[in-house]
Amino acid sequence: MSRKLLDLFLAIAIGLASATSAAHATTHDFYKGKAIRLIVGLAPGGGYDTYSRLIARHMGKHIPGNPVIVVENMDGAGSLIAANHIFKIAKPDGLTIGHVLGGLFLQQLLGKAGIEFDAAKFEYIGVPAQDNFMIGLSKATGITSVEKWMASKTTVKFGGVAPGGGTDDIPKVLAHTLGLPIQLVTGYKGTGPVRLAFNSGEVQGVSNAWESFKSTWRKEVESGDVVIVLQATVKAHPELPNVPVAYDLAKTDEARKLIQVVLRVQGPSTRPYLLPPGTPKERVEMLRKAFTDTMKDPELLAEATKAKLDINPDDGAGLERNVRDIFKLEPPLVAKLKEILK
């Protein structure tokens, strides 16, 4: 090989190495001195807000450049306003993270009015917890078990946030499949406002994640003012072995399938952290890694334990798979759910 050819190859190699090094430096310097907006689609005081503020306090130190993370509540329409904003308006530069109701993805499949996003195009970072929903009733109702509730046929008024959330979709499905006498009053801006309505007697029931009950409803749980009468789950939570499981009470295959579908949406995909479509892949991967590292951070875990927040995470790739699986539902089930959740 001639000396000129060797010199040419050497120059190309040096150029490629320099470009790679520059790109790496640019990527890793990007967040230095910057602030990331973490947009929460629900009101302060609920589980989504509480998890987000915990994450915001710790995740920045796991991102190269150590940016500040600022939580911003953009509530309304059960986080639909925030989801549309992140999809259509937020810049895809890695400086805006969204946290919305994962049930909105099922609502997209069912053709909900007002959805202006395509769930398949978001970039997904992960979930901090995979929820286990419970049905809680006010002690003032005098109902202490699901058996007594069904036998008495007492209609209980539930507080909801919006279609797409476990506060709304789960009671609707349980009313249809198990015949539970529920009247849903929806439109609250988060489970924090629902809790205030519950404590004032405005509503007497709620479908809420056990993870949120233990943290943001801790006073009501410990005082016995809220009674957990049913696990809206497929299998029992280890902390509540004596509370009946909704899946086990279903009498037909169709009922079990409908319960299973909605609970899958409201479980592993219900607390998604996501980025606008088109966010540069290297920043997506950087934030995914930072999120995963944050979920292992000893300081975050200690704070979560103190606040009784469960940390049972899934990474961005797992969350992305779960979201895509939602859109593989069989057409007959889609039609049935559309009728139930309308």
- In whole numbers, what is the pLDDT of the chain averaged over residues? 91
Taking alpha carbons only, the member of 243, 209, 161 closest to residue 50 is 209
d(CA 44, CA 12) in angstroms, rounded, equals 55
Q: Which pLDDT score is estimated for 93?
A: 98
For range 141-158, the mean pLDDT: 96
Say whether 133-266 and 28-130+270-341 share the same fold: yes
Amino acid letter, 308: K
* C-alpha dihedral (165, 317, 277, 73), degrees to nearest 10: 40
For range 24-28, the mean pLDDT: 55
Taking alpha carbons only, the member of 222, 215, 217 closest to residue 205 is 217
Amino acid letter, 275: L
Confidence bin at 190 (pLDDT 50/70/90): confident
Whether the predicted pLDDT of 13 surpasses 60: no
Spell out the domain ranges in the chain: 28-130+270-341, 133-266
Whether the predicted pLDDT of 182 surpasses 90: yes
Q: Which pLDDT score is estimated for 3?
A: 57
> What are 63-108's pLDDT values in tens digits?
999 999 999 999 999 899 999 999 999 999 999 999 999 999 999 9
* Number of neighbouring beta carbons within 10 Å of residue 282: 15
Mean pLDDT comparison of 22-36, 65-79, 252-266, highest-scoring range: 65-79
Q: What is the CATH number of domain 28-130+270-341?
A: 3.40.190.150
Whether the predicted pLDDT of 266 surpasses 90: no
Check: CATH 1.10.10.10 for 133-266?
no
Taking alpha carbons only, the member of 163, 133, 171, 161 closest to residue 49 is 161
Confidence bin at 26 (pLDDT 50/70/90): low
